[in-house]
Every structure is written in C-alpha cells, then in structure tokens.
A and B are shown apart, each in its own frame.
Chain A
C-alpha cells in the first residue's frame, strides 16, 4: 500500500511538472516580438542590418521551437522561453546601441554637409572676385549657374538629414564638395587666364 502511494505521488508530481510547462509562453512571445518590432521601427535595418537580421532569425527560430512543441503530446516550452528571453535581450541591446550608431551617422552627415557648404561658399567667394566684363562674362554666368545648382542640391542634403537618410545625405554632400572644389579650380584658372591676358 505504501509503495502504491509512493508511485501515485510520483505520478501526480510528474503530471504537475508536465502541465506547468505545457502552456505557450505568451508573455515572452509578446515581449520578444515587441522588442524586435521596436528596434526595427527605430531603423535597425538601416543602421545595423546584420544585427537586425540576427534578431529576426532568432525570433523565427524561437517561434519554430514553439511550433514544434505545439505538435507534441508532452509539451515543454522551457527552451522556447529561453530563446525568447534571449531575443528580447538582444533586441534591447541593439536598441540601446542603435541610438549611438544613428548619432554617429548623423554627425558624419552633418560634418559632410558643413564641408560641402564651405566648399560652395568658397566657390562663390572666388567667383565674386573674378574680373567682370571683357572676356569672362559668359564663363561667370556659367559658373554662377553651376553654383546655383550646387546650392539647390545642398537643400536636398538637409532634406535627407531631416528624413534620417544620413548615408544618402553624406554621399550627396561629399559629391557637392568635390564639384564645388572643381568649380573653384575652374574659376581660378579663368582668373589666371584673364590675368595673363592683361600682362
């Protein structure tokens, strides 16, 4: 009788263990999904695409684990739970690092924008000193149009910064800087040509 009682107690205990682990970890699922969604919305795919892919895959693996357990008679979601907790932790870690990455990208874009602005201003300054009238009017008009085009493009750099497209903004700003330097060089050459003629 005593032995039977022992086996019965062991059976009830086992049942308790199985039942306690048989529920889907809804709370962990929601927490992990929300963490992933948040970090993706905040631009993880743009600023840290590899990390974003990693947490997406981790979430997907955790969901596969849940699905596998769903199909079993004796369900055990403890591993899925662990996986989900890790997904959330990774997503949160990525989120905290993301702000720094964004800030860095923004700083790069703003620095490039400043350099481009300075280069355009330099070209403008040079052009204002170029001798007007004989021999250079058409060139000056052409350079003025070039600089106008560059100035308008500078506005596009700002738009890209405003929409947080920092890489696009930096690329455009660098291209403007390069082109403005080329215009300055052409203006200098034209000025030297006029100077040489005067001699």
Chain B
C-alpha cells in the first residue's frame, strides 16, 4: 500500500515538474488584442470595413484555436500553429493600419479643400447679397450654410472625418438655394439680349435729348445712378435707391421691382409722403403687353393688377422702395426744379456688358 502511494506521489511530482515546462502563450496573442483595439480606435470600421471585418474573423478564429490549445493538457500543448496564425494576423493588421492612415490623410486633405472652397463660395455669395436689394432672399440660406461649415470645420479639427463629410454634404443644398435666389438676377445683367435692349433705349433717349435739345433722365439700376442729360450730354448725376426687388423688371403690383422702359414724367408732386415726387407713366404699352403675356402664362396670380404710381421721390438714396426711385431730399429738390412734365425718363438695367452686377459674378459659374 505504501509502495503504491509512493508511486502515485512520484507520478504526481513528475507531472508537476513537466507541467511547469509547458509552453507559454505566444506574445503575439496579446499584441494582436492590442492591435485590434488600436485599429478600432483608428476608425477601421469606417475606413477599411471589408478588410477590418476579415481581420476580425481571422482573429476570432485564431483566438478560438488559442483557447483550444491552451486548454489541452500541458504535455500536449503546441502553440506553433497558433503563433504562426497570430503573426499573419498582426501582419495584416499592420497593413490595415497603413491603409487607414493613408485614407485619413486623403480624407483630411479632401475635406480641407472642400471647406476652403465652400468658405470662399459663401463669402462670394454673401458679397453679392450686398450688391442687390434682393440679397436678403439668400442670406437665410447662406447663414445656415455658414453654420454647417463651422460644424464641419470643428469635426475636421477633431479628426471626425465622417461627421465632417456629412455636414459638408448638407451645405450644398443651402448654397444652391442661395444661388437660386440671387444668381438669376445677376444673370440678367450679363444677358446679351437684355443688354442690347437697354443699350438701344439708352442711345435713343440720348439721341432724343440731343436732337430735340431737351433734358432727359436716364436711371441706371445696376450702378444706381440717375443721370440728367441736357442736349445729349450728361449734365448732372445722382445716386439713387430702387425697389426692394429693384434689380428685377416690374411685372405686376406688389412685386417691389423697379420698372425698365421708356417713360415720361406725367405729374410733379411738390408735397409728397417722400418729400417731393415726380410721377412717371408706368405702365406703358410694353409693360401692359408683358403683363398680359405673363398672366396668360400663369406667371402672375389671377387677381393681381399691373400696379402703378411709380415715382422718382425723396426719402433717401439708400432706401428700399416698393419699386420707385428714391433720392436724398436735397437732390430731388434740385431735379424737381430742372425737369418738367413730359420729360423723358428711361430706366435701364445697365448700359453695357461691363456693369457692376455682371462683373460681380465673373468666374463664379
């Protein structure tokens, strides 16, 4: 019996000694665990989802093999295959990390370029909004675009490129809306048909002044200048204000646009709500034709009238009117004494292609 116990003790001691010499877990297991965490932190799911998923599958399998191997009796443990698998995994992990880093650099540069481009675009459009009274229609969208740009910049700085990209995507809609609100107005001022028509009116009016040796008024909306011509030559010039939507041609009542065309002074009002006023004969024949045509096309609401009471009046050159031309009171005093009933008044958008509104959008589109 004692002999048996001795034998058992001997075997136990032998197993213990040999068991202590069991192979240690390969260091690659721990390294791979850390690597996987670092890859995740680097955004592997976002930048290289397919490769990362493949990597995780391989890692999971290798871990299972490792656990299986580890749970074997010490004598039978052999980590050689597991070690080799983990080395392969580490290798692919390094490659994934390199890819992530490369993609991040590309993304960061791309986002940075987009931010610069959009910032400049917004600044340009904001600049344009100051040039026309209609600019206010675009401001709301532009400020929303600016807000998103600030958010995108913050996200970019904190290296959250995905969120930055999402913000940038949303900006385009606001910029497009802002452009849609103001660019068609600017486009009119570089449209050749429109400009030729204005040039013709301008030349005919100056010729009338020269031929009939009379005083005429020409209002240039893009430059916001009212010029008095005497005997075909510029006599005096004044800065003026126009309608709230003054850059557009007046089509109907309530559109706040300043009409374009050849008119005459039909009434002089020495006492007006806006100091003094010179009433012109808007709508003329052409205005009526345009109004009827627009109504037929359904561009004007059925009950809307053509409007009227367009004046050159006081109240300040920077005022935004309902379509009239406004001047400083002392200036309207001056012309009130110079012009007469019947004096031609020609209102044009611009005299030539190089006007302040067409040049403002050069290179923008």
Contact = CB atoms under 8 A, between A and B. Distances in A.
A145 B137 contact: yes
A149 B141 contact: yes
Contacts of B41: 50
A184 interface: no
B2 to A, nearest CB: 13
A113 interface: no
B10 interface: no
Nearest to B65: A68
A146 to B, nearest CB: 5
B310 interface: no
Interface string A122-142: 000000000001111110011
Contacts of A64: 60, 63-64, 67
A171 B151 contact: yes
Interface in A140-170: 141-142, 144-146, 148-150, 152-153
A143 B225 CA distance: 25
Contacts of B67: 64-65, 67-68
Nearest to A150: B143
Nearest to B142: A149
Nearest to B320: A137
B296 interface: no
B68 interface: yes
Contact of A134 (B144, B150, B316): B316
Interface string A12-45: 0000000000000000000000000000000000
A133 B129 contact: no
A171 B152 CA distance: 10
Contacts of A142: 129-130, 135-136, 139
A92 interface: no
Interface string B146-181: 111011001100000000000000000000000000
A67 B64 CA distance: 7
Interface in A169-185: 171-172, 174-176, 178-179
Contacts of B320: 137-138, 141
B318 A71 contact: no
Interface in B1-51: 36-37, 40-41
Contacts of A144: 136
Contacts of B154: 171, 174-175
B71 interface: yes
B319 interface: yes
A126 B7 CA distance: 99
B140 A53 contact: no
Nearest to B64: A64
Given A133-B316, A175-B150, A76 B71 contact: yes
A116 to B, nearest CB: 10
B332 to A, nearest CB: 13
A146 B64 contact: no
B133 interface: yes
Contacts of A145: 136-140, 143
Contact of B318 (A138, A152, A178): A138
Q: Which of B129, B137, B139 counts the most A-chain CB atoms under 10 A from its CB? A: B139
B67 to A, nearest CB: 4
Nearest to B144: A149
B147 A175 contact: yes
B151 A175 contact: yes
B151 A146 contact: no
Interface in B91-113: none
B151 A61 contact: no
Nearest to A148: B140
Contacts of B155: 171
Given A68-B68, A142-B139, A179-B150, 18 more contacts: A53-B37, A57-B37, A64-B64, A65-B67, A71-B68, A72-B68, A133-B319, A134-B315, A134-B319, A137-B319, A141-B133, A142-B135, A146-B139, A149-B139, A149-B147, A171-B155, A176-B147, A179-B146
17 contacts: A60-B60, A64-B67, A67-B64, A67-B67, A71-B68, A137-B320, A138-B130, A138-B133, A138-B318, A138-B320, A141-B136, A142-B130, A142-B139, A145-B143, A153-B144, A172-B151, A176-B147
